[in-house]
Structure 1
């Protein structure tokens, strides 16, 4: 079953047999530098606990380019605690969060991340009827921020000491794509 396909890019639900891929990607220090942290390598047991055991409303997916699995993307409706932290308390809007990484460094810097963010935003806005999509990248991750901003996300709020990464709490940006603006997804 395919969530969507855009040219060579496709996204499908995470399957049990994808655990080895996640373990390989999340034990590569090049990937961990940007996702989870180099001090948080994942073996198969940790992958099972992190990606398969939780039932938290997160929709987990594998990203492929051509026919090769190259990464991971997840999305979820943000909950009351996040709504309050992000400044959306009391809002009745449909607000989704998403997180992703390309686990195959050979596919970095080829525009695939931009394609992925645009395609997932289009899916969430169209199929899931999202009013807004939010993410909270760390402030130092300028490459990711450039991609997100190229896709129409705007920085809304600094989140000081928001996420633990490599032994320290890091500042993050709350970034938002407002789906009510018809020019949003570029």
Structure 2
């Protein structure tokens, strides 16, 4: 089932047959460098455990012109994570989001920007999200540039947040606030 489509990029619900794509993508060291870590290649059992067993997460496949090219998930941020992030009940409907493009030939082509813009539109307009948050690792400058271009802003440094390639890495809590349409990045800086 297609959730949305824009400028050749679409997002559809994860299906059982997509597990082979996930195994292939998450066995590629180029992808693992940014998602999960090169020391964590996934086999079918890991893919089944991490991507097919949590009904609190909406797992989806990213497509470019009907070609499956990556993975995206979104979910309601639970009370425990809200507390870690510094949000209260009065902060409205908050969704978290994670994604990767698993086909390296699709990197550096503007697809990530179109993906994030489309997903933000879907979450804010269709699901009525007040805020969307992500926590990319601080060293991932390419991803941070895309997110900032799409209206996300850095909110809080999360020290030693994510285990990646043998050590805990710092992450940025970044936020898109639907009330102000996100904050567009000032390209002159």
Identify if the C-alpha distance between structure 1 residues 45 and 183 changes in structure 2 by more than 3 Å, giving closer, same or farther: closer
The answer to whether structure 1 residue 52 and structure 2 residue 52 are counterparts is yes
> What is residue 83 of structure 1 aligned with on the other side?
82
> What is residue 102 of structure 2 aligned with on the other side?
103
Q: CA deviation at 1:73?
A: 0.4
Q: How many residue pairs get matched?
A: 185
Judge conservation of contact 1:138–1:170 (CA < 8 Å) in 2.
Answer: yes
SS of equivalent residue, structure 2 residue 2:
coil
For residues 8 and 99 of structure 2, the distance between their equivalents in structure 1, rounded to whole angstroms, comes to 18
Give TM-score scaled by structure 1 length: 0.96
> What is residue 93 of structure 1 aligned with on the other side?
92
> What is residue 27 of structure 2 aligned with on the other side?
27
For residues 136 and 164 of structure 2, the distance between their equivalents in structure 1, rounded to whole angstroms, comes to 11
Deviations along 1:4-46, one digit per CA (max 9) or x if unpaired, are 1102111000000000000000000000000000011101111
Identify if the C-alpha distance between structure 1 residues 51 and 108 changes in structure 2 by more than 3 Å, giving closer, same or farther: same
The CA RMSD measured in Å over matched residues stands at 1.3
Deviations along 1:90-146, one digit per CA (max 9) or x if unpaired, are 335000000000000000000000000000000000000000000000000000000
Unaligned runs of at least 5 residues, structure 1 = none
> What is residue 10 of structure 1 aligned with on the other side?
10
Give TM-score scaled by structure 2 length: 0.95
The answer to whether structure 1 residue 146 and structure 2 residue 151 are counterparts is no
